[in-house]
A and B are shown apart, each in its own frame.
Chain A
């Protein structure tokens, strides 16, 4: 299986900050990388697919980049509703064995 490793595991930041979360794949996955946001007690929500394409309805302060093995999710100006856990997920495997990173929890400083 392709292993996904996120860093940091947790991050403290303030409203208005710019934050970046990174995700590394154990092998090249081209740009088959998605990002999800999960709030406490809720299901994950798709934010970005194909490494950099914003899902419909997601605010433009979210952006993604990367290809190969290294990826990042950036929030340009943190809003109170952005404090959550973020997961990356690869969809490169064929036949599919979709795998997720372990998550990055974004906390209020």
Chain B
């Protein structure tokens, strides 16, 4: 079955760039119909969608983070990457990658996050 694994530095200094990688195993990152999202969870708080990428390279970001976010894909390594620039303490969070797919009923397709990585904790501190 498809599994996702996040990796990257656990500590980033303020004003620097946060860089994380999500490695996808057990399935193709290039399968049609699947988007690859990054989602974060601030300590003890709720969930915030950061953005996603489709296998052809098209991206869409949360407007609140768009100016600082880049999501990219390396299909040869089956990896999705996240870069978040000019980080502050407010970017301290657990970062998850998640497969995003439209699950079908008889009526519609509903975008869901159906498979998640285990998350990686990132602290922004000097």
Contacts and interface: CB of A to CB of B under 8 A. Distances in A.
- Tell whether A and B belong to one assembly: yes
Nearest to B48: A100
Contact of B111 (A43, A98, A103): A98
A45 B116 CA distance: 8
Contacts of B52: 96
Contact of B105 (A36, A50, A89, A97): A50
A91 B111 contact: yes
Nearest to A6: B46
A57 to B, nearest CB: 11
Of B52, B63, B110, chain A has the most CB atoms within 10 Å of the CB of: B110
Interface in A16-32: 31-32
Interface string A66-109: 00000000000000000000010101000111111111000000
Interface string B48-87: 1100100000001011100000000000000000000000
A103 B107 CA distance: 28
Contact of A43 (B60, B107, B119): B119
- Name the interface size band of chain B: 20 to 34
Contact of B62 (A45, A46, A50, A97): A97
A20 B64 CA distance: 32
A31 B106 CA distance: 13
What are the 8 A-B residue pairs with the smallest beta carbon separation, nearest first? A43-B116, A91-B111, A98-B49, A100-B47, A50-B110, A49-B110, A102-B46, A49-B112
Interface of A: 1, 31-32, 34, 36, 42-46, 49-50, 53, 55, 87, 89, 91, 95-103
6 contacts: A31-B107, A32-B111, A43-B98, A53-B103, A91-B112, A98-B111
Interface of B: 37, 45-49, 52, 60, 62-64, 96, 98, 103, 105, 107-108, 110-114, 116-119
